[in-house]
Amino acid sequence: MRQLSENPASTCGVFRLRPIYTWMMLEPATSITAAAEYSIDFAREQLKGKKVIALTGAGLSTDSGIPDYRGEGRVARHPMTYDVFMGSHEARVRYWARSYVGWSRIAEAKPNLGHRALATAQASGRLRQIITQNVDGLHQAAGATEVIDLHGRLDRVICTSCKKLISRRELDDVLRAMNPSVLKSTSIEFTPDGDAEVEVSTDFQIPDCSSCHSILKPDVVFFGESVPVERAELAMRNLDTADALLVAGTSLTVNSGMRFARAAAKSGKPIVIVNLGPTRADELAVAKIEANTSLALERLLIG
């Protein structure tokens, strides 16, 4: 799927690129193994006639060009935590300056066959709801309607005080107007957070809330921050009314996702997993399909 390379250091406006290991999307897989075909047939039987709910993660969007965190060949990253972001103006300048460069790459991403298969399955009634840990909005872009964005959305910005929401696109215009000398470069590598691997000048200007002048934050759940209680409870209630769980493209390393697998197993709901590589729920699953989500979900849910 991906390979590592090293970028030379270079300069770009007020940003200085530093040497980093980068992620490059390789050609999407075109076939799946006989073992995976067999697992799909078995899993289809397990899901037959059941009210299925899906839990998705970063692996679903890698074929759309958005890197995951823990797939094969990934270098460990340490995304900015909630405490660091809220703790200083300098940290927020760093976050928004890097996001200013990196976000447009996420905004341009298009849904892939995996997103489309889930949306089609939802439209036909084969799949009830999608709980996603992704913040990229690609399920909705593929036409899915019943989606809970567990960790929020990168295309929204929220005031941490009055909770006013604005679109990330609107914020982009404000950042551009405040920082006319900063040029975005499409050649800069970006990360799953819509962040770019750049070092940032402290001159970068960031806005506050236009209503109450408090801190603006991307409307996503940062590491070290909790999923809003009502959202987590709504997702759990939806799982309660389903009778099978389909897990796709997630290692389930993050507890806010893993708890759904634990709850499904506890109440005896069959769990089917489609993921390349291990997940924390492998031992709880009735079927584990080791295959690319773009290929496997269509075979599993459609036709």
Ligand X SMILES: NC(=O)c1ccc[n+]([C@@H]2O[C@H](COP(=O)([O-])OP(=O)(O)OC[C@H]3O[C@@H](n4cnc5c(N)ncnc54)[C@H](O)[C@@H]3O)[C@@H](O)[C@H]2O)c1
Which amino acids are annotated catalytic? Answer: 151
Terminal Cα-to-Cα distance of the chain (whole angstroms) = 27
Rounded to 10 deg, the angle between the 113-123 and 293-301 helix axes is 20
Least distance (Å) between residue 213 CB and ligand X: 29
Answer whether 289's CB lies under 8 Å from 300's CB. Answer: yes
Letters for 265-294 (x = contact with ligand X by CB under 6 A, - = none) are ----------xxx--------------xxx
Contact range with Zn ion by CB under 5 A, out of 2-10, 46-54, 157-165, 182-190: 157-165
Q: What is the 3-state secondary structure (H, E, C) of 138-153?
A: HHHHCCCCCEEECCEE
Using CB under 6 A as the binding rule, whether residue 134 contacts ligand X is answered as yes
135/244 with CB nearer ligand X = 135
Contact range with Zn ion by CB under 5 A, out of 18-26, 148-156, 159-167, 278-286: 159-167
Q: Is 140 left (phi over 0), alpha (psi -120 to 50) or beta?
A: alpha
Least distance (Å) between residue 248 CB and ligand X: 7
120/250 with CB nearer ligand X = 250
The footprint of ligand X on residues 203-232 (CB under 6 A) is none
Least distance (Å) between residue 10 CB and ligand X: 26
Cα gap 46→17, rounded to integer Å? 50
Letters for 138-177 (x = contact with ligand X by CB under 6 A, - = none) are -------------x--------------------------
Cα gap 167→179, rounded to integer Å? 18
Which pair of tokens denotes residue 177?
A: 């107007």
Least distance (Å) between residue 94 CB and ligand X: 19
Cα gap 19→69, rounded to integer Å? 19
The conformation of residue 81, written as its DSSP 8-state character, comes to: B
Count of residues of this chain found to bind ligand X when the rule CB under 6 A is applied: 30
Cα gap 175→216, rounded to integer Å? 12
Q: Is 49 left (phi over 0), alpha (psi -120 to 50) or beta?
A: left
Rg, the chain, Cα only? 20
Letters for 64-103 (x = contact with ligand X by CB under 6 A, - = none) are --x-xxxxx-------------------------------
Contact range with ligand X by CB under 6 A, out of 54-62, 181-189, 227-235, 237-245: 54-62
Least distance (Å) between residue 295 CB and ligand X: 8
The footprint of Zn ion on residues 181-220 (CB under 5 A) is 209, 211-212, 214
List residues near Zn ion by CB under 5 A. 159, 161-162, 164, 209, 211-212, 214
